[in-house]
């Protein structure tokens, strides 16, 4: 029997809420009043968030230079921080380029599966506040490691791609660019979405993805809850960011992954745009639901392509002035009614 879909809504921050970047700056200042920061090392660490112990993995370069960038890498549903660290391949890039990579660990849902709370239908009763976790994690690392708060980026696979979109969709996003792989927007928060700030987007998606389907699932046939198609997700970013010049090119001179051609779609900003950001989509014409090893060129990993994209926006972020940090900057995903969550199989969505 098809599970019922509870109506979800985002209790978005009201107009009087402080900017997210200001919250980040103030939270970092508050962190500096705590006991001396730990001697951060690569490996597993924990952070108490609202009385809940959350964990994450760090990849640090040999020397963390002041002003280094921070890349958030999120795992998929049922996966782990260790799993996405192995799969994504950012570790050698950390050593080469000097940025910091952090791999947050999701919570465990009622079925015993790891997840990030983005509003799936069967998670309507879950209370994990992953946006708060990410905000506090970023604030702590920025303060302790003296990272550049204007160079925070997010990527992830599937459920990790979904939360990358969600971070970018915040009223005042703390990320400068996102790179979701096999990710989407839930209809509950993506339907009326308009980007609140200039933010660069690189999406990677396989035409043959049978979990996060290219054409979306507006009728919730798979039980995740209704979600948008790849075309609709990209259209929201493109229109909202004012990107108009579209180009699409096959990559015939590269070695295609899994024997399938790769199409690179690019939308560039209007010439008069005050802040130039672009939207890109790597369309894997026969790709499935996975993190591809590369995007057409076997000499360069997907992680390397993503870092190159992020690094183009490395010095362009201007953060808003400081303001009240006592108010939450993230929407809480709550059911509109008391409907019962549905069921679904434990695919790594």
Q: Where are the domains of the chain?
A: 8-322
Q: What is the pLDDT of residue 221?
A: 96
User: What is the mean predicted confidence (pLDDT) over 286-308?
Assistant: 93
Sorting pLDDT into bands at 50, 70 and 90, what band is 272? Answer: low
Q: Does residue 19 carry a pLDDT above 80? A: no
Sorting pLDDT into bands at 50, 70 and 90, what band is 252? Answer: low
Does domain 8-322 match CATH 3.40.50.2000?
Answer: no
Query: What are the two backbone dihedrals, phi and then psi, of residue 41, each rounded to the nearest 5 degrees?
Result: -135, 165
The strand pair at 152-157 and 70-74 is best described as parallel
User: What is the mean predicted confidence (pLDDT) over 10-22?
Assistant: 39
Q: What is the pLDDT of residue 196?
A: 85
Query: Among 43-47, 161-165, 238-242, 247-251, which is the least confidently predicted range?
Result: 247-251
Sorting pLDDT into bands at 50, 70 and 90, what band is 335? Answer: very low
User: What is the mean predicted confidence (pLDDT) over 23-47?
Assistant: 64
**Top-confidence residue, 98 or 244:** 98
Q: How far is CA 62 from CA 71, 97, 191, in A?
A: 16, 11, 43
Quote the DSSP letter at residue 337: S
Q: Does residue 134 carry a pLDDT above 80? A: yes
Q: What is the pLDDT of residue 331?
A: 36
Q: Is the pTM of this model over 0.85?
A: no
**Top-confidence residue, 58 or 13:** 58
**Top-confidence residue, 316 or 209:** 209
Mean pLDDT for all residues in the chain = 82
What is the rounded distance in angstroms from the CA atom of residue 349 to the CA atom of residue 78? 8
Sorting pLDDT into bands at 50, 70 and 90, what band is 274? Answer: low
Q: What is the pLDDT of residue 37?
A: 57
User: Which residues touch 241 (CB under 8 Å, ≥6 apart)?
Assistant: 195, 198, 199, 201, 267, 269, 277, 279
- Choose from 101-105, 169-173, 269-273, 344-348 the range with maximum mean pLDDT: 101-105
Q: Does residue 202 carry a pLDDT above 90? A: yes
Alpha carbon 230 to chain centroid distance? 15
**Top-confidence residue, 201 or 336:** 201
Q: Does residue 339 carry a pLDDT above 60? A: no
Buried b (16+ CB within 10 A) or exposed e, 151-190: bbbbbbbbbbbbbbbbbbbbbbbbbbbbbbbbbbbbbbbb
Quote the DSSP letter at residue 127: -
The candidate with the shortest Cα–Cα distance to 273, out of 240, 245, 242, 315, is 242
């Amino acid at each position: 029997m098809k599970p019922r879909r509870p109506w979800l809504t985002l209790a978005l921050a009201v107009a009087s809420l402080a900017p997210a970047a200001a919250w980040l700056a103030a939270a970092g200042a508050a962190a500096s009043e705590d006991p001396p920061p730990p001697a951060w090392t690569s490996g597993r660490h924990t952070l108490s968030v609202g009385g809940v112990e959350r964990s994450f993995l760090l990849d640090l370069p040999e020397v963390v230079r002041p002003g280094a960038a921070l890349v958030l890498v999120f795992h998929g549903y049922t996966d782990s921080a260790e799993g996405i660290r192995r799969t994504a391949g950012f570790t050698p890039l950390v050593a080469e380029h000097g940025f910091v990579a952090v791999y947050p660990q999701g919570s465990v849902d009622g079925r015993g599966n790891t997840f990030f709370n983005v509003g799936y239908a069967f998670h309507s009763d879950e209370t994990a506040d992953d946006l708060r976790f990410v905000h506090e994690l970023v604030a702590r690392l920025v303060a302790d490691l003296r990272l550049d708060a204007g160079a925070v980026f997010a990527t992830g696979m599937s459920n990790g791609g979904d939360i990358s979109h969600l971070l970018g969709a915040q009223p005042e996003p703390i990320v400068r660019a996102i790179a979701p792989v096999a990710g989407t927007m839930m209809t509950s928060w993506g339907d009326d979405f308009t980007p609140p700030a200039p933010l660069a987007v690189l999406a990677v998606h396989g035409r043959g993805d049978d979990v996060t389907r290219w054409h979306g699932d507006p009728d919730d046939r798979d039980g995740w809850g209704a979600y948008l198609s790849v075309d609709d997700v990209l259209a929201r970013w493109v229109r909202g960011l004012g990107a108009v010049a579209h180009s699409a090119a096959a990559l015939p001179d590269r070695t295609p992954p899994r024997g399938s051609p790769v199409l690179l779609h690019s939308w560039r900003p209007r010439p008069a745009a005050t802040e130039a950001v672009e939207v890109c989509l790597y369309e894997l014409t026969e790709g499935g639901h996975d993190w591809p090893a590369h995007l057409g060129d076997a000499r360069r990993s997907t992680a390397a392509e993503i870092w190159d994209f992020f690094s183009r926006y490395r010095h362009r972020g201007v953060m808003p002035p400081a303001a009240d940090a006592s108010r939450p900057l993230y929407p809480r995903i709550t059911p509109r009614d008391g409907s019962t969550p549905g069921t679904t199989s434990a695919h790594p969505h």
